[in-house]
Amino acid sequence: MKGLWSLIVGLKVTGKEFCRPWITVHYPRQEVTNLDTFRGHIDLVPVLDDPEKPLCIVCRRCEEVCPSSCIRIEGHVPGEEKEAPVRQLLLVSNIMLPHSAAREPICATDKTLRVLDGFSLNYNLCSLCGLCVQSCPVSSLTFSSDVYLAGASRKDFEFDLLQRLRDRAGSTKLKKAA
Amino acid sequence: MLDKPSCSLDGDYYSSRFSELGKGEGDTLILNLGPQHPSTHGVLRVIVELDGEYVRRAEPVLGYIHRMHEKMGEVKTYVQYLPNMGRVDYLHALAWNWAYVGAVEKLMGLAVPSRAEYIRVITCELNRICSHLLWWGAYVLDLGGFTPILYAFDDREILMDILQIPTGSRLTYCYYRFGGVSADLTETFLTQTRNFIERFKTRIPMYHDLVTGNMILRGRCEDIGALPVEMARRYGATGPVLRGSGVAYDVRRVEPYSVYDQFDFDIPVGKNGDAMDRYDVRMAEMEQSVRIIEQALNQIPDGPFINPDVPDRILPPKGEVYFAVEGARGKIGVYLVSDGTARPYRLKLRAPGFSNLHVFAELAQGTILADAVSILGSLDLVIPEIDR
Amino acid sequence: MLPLVHLIVALIAILTFIALNGLILVYVERKVAGFIQRRPGPFEVGPHGLLQPLADALKLVGKQLVMPRGADRILFWVAPLLSFAPVAICLLPIPFGPHLLGLDVNLGLLLVLAFSGLNVLALCLAGWGSNNKYALLGAARAVAQSVAYEIPLLLSVLCVAFTCGSLSFVDITASQTRGLLSWNVFSQPLAFLIFFVSALAETNRAPFDLPEAESELTAGFHTEYSGMGFGLFFLAEYSYMIVVSAVASVLFLGGWSGPFFSGHWWMLGKIYTLILIMMWFRWTYPRVRFDQLLNICWKWLIPLSLINLLGTALIINLVR
């Protein structure tokens, strides 16, 4: 008898739930509202007075600490020729291994001024661990809230972060002008 | 009469070896469950020998999702290995995080500030509730009830949103760092956690009404897969699988780590070790986790969330260490051997699911196939953790 | 001449009714499932997903009809047709309204029970004709389940036949038109419950859907069917739900009579209420294991229905 009553109780539970509104966030009619805490891919942070100039000092700590070798940085010392990129020494087969697996120290160890020429992120490999953001000594990396990403090939997820910074600066200039 | 070919053309190595190991008497049928499953077990393949409805022998075949985590541990530096731990068992990722950072901290003698310990406890227990909710939904789904999993996912969505605030992720967390955690808790997090606890206390009775008391479910779980304590010990089963058989072994009580000795919580145990006991143990554990979180929220002190003296380059001294935590599935262990360099010499991950799974081979003998499925579900297996 | 025309018109109307209901019930089931699970259900195809069953039907019709190697061609293709065809005949003797009757036969109940038993034969043919060990196992289980639950079904229906003294649906409906309390559910509540549970088992609905939802290995007797073959089995399942609900409404819930404004709307309302309750059961309960399923039948339902029958017979004799 107690068993049969349990069946009725179960029916009451589902009956009550039937009458309650649904909890689906019905995309694209509705969107989630908590993206500000979500770790999307990283983006460069500009200096305060120039939205096109990144804070990055090309120390390459993020490039070294990344477990999946997602980051490729190009920079040069002003006045000198552009350096040969370190990544030429890494084989394609090592793409999943961290840089330091090749036993090459790539992090800068002196205080030479360097200028950033290119900062590319291969988001296909990124595991959103946040080690790059926390290892940056000048906090020049931040997480974006870019989650509505869709692409048809891997190239769609290879981001040029310096270009993205410049695009954002351009659009804010347009907004200010308008 | 054609010559029999020297290699077996029927099935692969595992099924031919299984049939060679001795077909029972009578007309039996050898077939595969998996590796693709309709429910969320993961890629587990079980070769069974069926005599009509009854399972004569069962053998799990592993390795379909072996991702070489332990090899990666030898190739990556200590810091670079952190995101791996979220992927080993993505359902209780923070416990695996904890096992690894705890091992390195123990080896290096790093102190963890008190606030960070409490943050770790709160987030790990929230994650444990997540994991048990998913287990509950998937288990009832295995048995044919299609609704409870969606109610469980409703609660999980809220929990994932809460855990997103400090960690930034929803499932594969990489939140703990050596010497603390990577971000502090905010007021929003604390408020939402308290709200969730109040809501969850009304949801648990609903779950018991809908599923636990249901006589059809009881018929599918009671007296199924009774695990004797001696068998559990032989296989090294831990977690709710062992506690269902009556042994009150919980790493948080037996080998307390972090601040677990400050909390007042019970260790639920079962009596007979059948599937219903394991079910009850996990439901009770969810309530105990809520208790722990409430106490932790009240006791959490102010202070730094990470040890400010953690060196930039992690270079543990030569030596070995073993650190264990209580995961949702059992005792998670990390055995770390360091040779003084920037990379571990050997990183061994002790997955509780590996020991729990092999209990199935013995428990399933002589049961009906529907019961074997129920036993498999009650062991709470996550195959990526088993294969690492 | 006129009875023949009447019959043909009735058959066409019933077939249309079944076809429309197939579409509607698929949609309603998915929407009910969605709302119980706090989610929208079908939404994209057509406004609020109303065209979803049409899209599903078009998809099923468009699929290739595959037959496994070694399968018996005749048996394999006859099985879904045999499953679906008797439904129209089963709905003929049921009065949907005071003047809506396909076939006025004084053995209407016997007709319905006989033709719904053909479904068991269809299961056998499907299982054997598939040339598949798993399908055969599933079909054997489904047949065992159907055959076992026929008995309490019959016994509970006999109780109503005893109280009304007739096997004709028209007479049974007429005996319940004297107001709400004359409905047979109040004089035979146990028979109603037994009938409903047996009906769930006969139509392979949850929680008794082990033969068709044994997702671990045997996907049931319809493993090898794809496209329209599967579609016919699917349609047959929903149609048998309608048949069983219609029979239950006539036998126990008063048919087309209601406390006010009697008519076919009451009949349809009762049918759909029972179908909604069946759907409610499906999304609430887990599956019953096969041996427990047979146990329920042999150890509980049959003794209870026998006792009910004997009690009814006794009371009728005493009253007369």
Facing residue for B75 by CB, picked from A12, A66, A97: A97
Q: Which residues of B touch A9 (CB under 8 A)?
A: 209-210, 213
Residues β-bridged to residue B333: B324, B350
Nearest CA among B273, B269, B274, B272 for reference residue B219: B274
Q: Which of A68-72, A90-94, A138-142, B27-31 has the lowest mean pLDDT?
A: A90-94
Facing residue for C280 by CB, picked from A15, A22, A23: A15
Contacts 24+ apart (CB under 8 A), B248-255: B250/B326, B251/B324, B251/B325, B251/B326, B251/B331, B252/B325, B252/B326, B255/B324
Facing residue for B76 by CB, picked from A39, A98, A134: A98
Mean pLDDT across C268-289: 91
pLDDT digits (tens, 9 = 90+) for C66-86: 888 888 888 888 888 888 889
pLDDT over 70 (residue A89): no
User: What percent of chain A stands above pLDDT 90?
Assistant: 11
Chain A nearest C-alpha distance from C37 (Å): 7
Nearest chain B alpha carbon to A144: B168
Q: Which of B2-6, B267-271, C105-109, C146-150 has the lowest mean pLDDT?
A: B2-6
Which two structure tokens, joined as six digits, stand for C96? Answer: 């949907």
Residue contact B82–A131, C-beta within 8 A:
yes
Facing residue for C36 by CB, picked from A17, A24, A26: A17
pLDDT of residue B351: 93
CA dist., res. B109 & res. B325, Å (int): 18
Q: Under an 8 Å CB criterion, which residues of C touch A?
A: 32, 34-40, 43, 280-281, 283-285
* HSE (side-chain half, CA atoms, 13 Å) at B344: 28
CA dist., res. C36 & res. C33, Å (int): 5
Angle at B342 between CA A100 and CA B80, to 5 degrees: 60
Longest Cα separation, chain B: 84
- H or E stretch at C246: helix C228-252
pLDDT band at C218; cut points 50, 70, 90: low
Chain pair B-C, CB pairs under 8 angstroms: 65
pLDDT of residue B142: 86
Which two structure tokens, joined as six digits, stand for A171? Answer: 């659009």
Which two structure tokens, joined as six digits, stand for A155? Answer: 């190239």
CA dist., res. B208 & res. B220, Å (int): 16
Q: At B355, give phi and psi (nearest 5°).
A: -75, -35
Identity of the amino acid at B104: V
Nearest CA among B169, B152, B164, B172 for reference residue B192: B164
CA dist., res. C168 & res. B377, Å (int): 50
Q: Which residues of B touch C288 (CB under 8 A)?
A: 216, 219-220
Residue B298 burial by Cβ neighbours in a 10 Å radius (0-12, 13-18, 19+): exposed
Residue contact A22–C36, C-beta within 8 A:
no
Mean pLDDT across C185-190: 87
CA dist., res. B381 & res. A54, Å (int): 47
Q: Where are the alpha helices (DSSP H) in chain B?
A: 13-20, 69-75, 82-88, 93-108, 114-142, 148-167, 187-207, 215-221, 229-235, 240-243, 251-254, 275-299, 352-363, 369-378, 383-387
* HSE (side-chain half, CA atoms, 13 Å) at A118: 12
Name the 3-class secondary structure at B48. Answer: strand
> Any chain C CB within 8 A of the CB of A14?
yes
Which two structure tokens, joined as six digits, stand for C146? Answer: 């159907």
CA dist., res. B46 & res. B38, Å (int): 14
Residue contact C284–A10, C-beta within 8 A:
yes
Q: Under an 8 Å CB criterion, which residues of B touch C?
A: 29, 31, 33, 38-39, 53, 140, 143-147, 150-151, 154, 210-211, 214, 216-217, 219-220, 368-371, 373
In angstroms and rounded to an integer, the radius of gyration of the C-alpha atoms of chain B is 22
Residue contact B83–A129, C-beta within 8 A:
yes
**C contact residues 23-42, partner B, Cβ 8 Å cutoff:** 33, 36-39
Residue contact A24–C39, C-beta within 8 A:
yes
Identity of the amino acid at B166: P
> How high is the mean pLDDT of chain C?
86
Residues of chain B with pLDDT under 50: 1, 8
pLDDT band at A92; cut points 50, 70, 90: very low
- Within 10 angstroms of residue B39's Cβ, the number of other Cβ atoms is 18
The helix/strand count (H/E) of chain B reads as 15, 8
pLDDT of residue A94: 44
Q: How far is CA B226 from CA B60, B68, B375, C272, C288, in A?
A: 19, 34, 9, 44, 20
ipTM of the complex: 0.87
pLDDT of residue C142: 84
Residue contact C38–A14, C-beta within 8 A:
no
Q: Which residues of A touch B161 (CB under 8 A)?
A: 34
Which two structure tokens, joined as six digits, stand for B88? Answer: 């080993």
pLDDT of residue A87: 47
CA dist., res. B105 & res. B99, Å (int): 10
Between A161 and C217, residue with greater pLDDT: A161
Nearest chain B alpha carbon to C285: B145
pLDDT over 80 (residue C276): yes
* HSE (side-chain half, CA atoms, 13 Å) at A83: 17
Q: Which chains touch B (3 or more CB pairs under 8 A)?
A: A, C
Q: At C27, give phi and psi (nearest 5°).
A: -65, -45
Residue contact A128–B151, C-beta within 8 A:
no
Q: Which residues of A touch C43 (CB under 8 A)?
A: 26
Q: Which chains touch C (3 or more CB pairs under 8 A)?
A: A, B
Name the 3-class secondary structure at C93. Answer: coil
Mean pLDDT across C217-233: 76
Angle at B9 between CA B3 and CA B10, to 5 degrees: 120
* HSE (side-chain half, CA atoms, 13 Å) at B380: 31
pLDDT over 80 (residue A172): no
pLDDT digits (tens, 9 = 90+) for A44-59: 999 988 888 899 988 8
* Residues B220 and B245: beta-carbon distance below 8 Å: no
Facing residue for B145 by CB, picked from C285, C290, C291: C285
Which two structure tokens, joined as six digits, stand for B74? Answer: 């030898």
Facing residue for A9 by CB, picked from B83, B151, B209: B209
- H or E stretch at A89: none
Identity of the amino acid at C183: W
Q: Under an 8 Å CB criterion, which residues of B touch A?
A: 75-77, 79-84, 87, 147, 151, 154, 157, 161, 164-165, 167-170, 172, 174, 177, 182, 206, 209-211, 213-216, 218, 342
Q: At B54, give phi and psi (nearest 5°).
A: -90, 140
Residue contact C40–A24, C-beta within 8 A:
yes
Question: Which of the residues A23, A24, A26, A30 would you substitute to probe the C interface, choosing the one with the greatest number of C C-beta atoms within 10 Å?
Answer: A24
Q: Under an 8 Å CB criterion, which residues of A touch B?
A: 2-4, 6-7, 9-10, 12-14, 17, 23, 34, 37-39, 65-67, 97-98, 100-101, 127-131, 134, 143
Q: At A142, give phi and psi (nearest 5°).
A: -140, 160
CATH 1.10.150.120 holds for A38-177? no
Q: Which chains touch A (3 or more CB pairs under 8 A)?
A: B, C
Contact residues for C314 (Cβ-Cβ < 8 A; gap 6+): none
Residue contact C35–A22, C-beta within 8 A:
yes
pLDDT digits (tens, 9 = 90+) for A16-48: 888 888 888 888 888 888 888 898 889 999 998
Angle at B77 between CA B71 and CA B83, to 5 degrees: 75
Mean pLDDT across A117-129: 89
* Residues A44 and A119: beta-carbon distance below 8 Å: yes
Nearest chain C alpha carbon to A13: C284
Which two structure tokens, joined as six digits, stand for A144? Answer: 């974006």
Q: Which of A68-77, A139-148, A169-178 has the lowest mean pLDDT?
A: A169-178
Q: Which residues of B touch C39 (CB under 8 A)?
A: 150
Q: At A141, give phi and psi (nearest 5°).
A: -120, 140
pLDDT over 80 (residue A86): no
Chain B nearest C-alpha distance from A38 (Å): 5
pLDDT of residue A83: 58
User: What percent of chain C stands above pLDDT 90?
Assistant: 29
Residue contact A14–C43, C-beta within 8 A:
no
pLDDT of residue C304: 92
β-bridge pairing B319-326 and B331-338 = antiparallel
Facing residue for C40 by CB, picked from A11, A20, A26: A26
* Residues B32 and B25: beta-carbon distance below 8 Å: no
Nearest chain A alpha carbon to C277: A11
pLDDT digits (tens, 9 = 90+) for B21-80: 766 666 777 777 778 776 657 888 888 888 877 888 888 988 889 999 999 999 889 999
Q: Which residues of C touch A17 (CB under 8 A)?
A: 36-38
Question: Which of the residues B74, B80, B151, B163 would you substitute to probe the A interface, choosing the one with the greatest number of A C-beta atoms within 10 Å?
Answer: B80
pLDDT of residue B165: 93
Nearest CA among C158, C78, C59, C182 for reference residue C122: C78
pLDDT of residue B53: 77
Q: How far is CA B318 from CA A7, B33, B344, C126, in A?
A: 61, 45, 10, 69
End-to-end CA, chain B:
47
* Residues A75 and A83: beta-carbon distance below 8 Å: yes
CA dist., res. A88 & res. A72, Å (int): 11
Residue contact B168–A128, C-beta within 8 A:
yes
Nearest chain C alpha carbon to B213: C285
> Any chain B CB within 8 A of the CB of C206?
yes
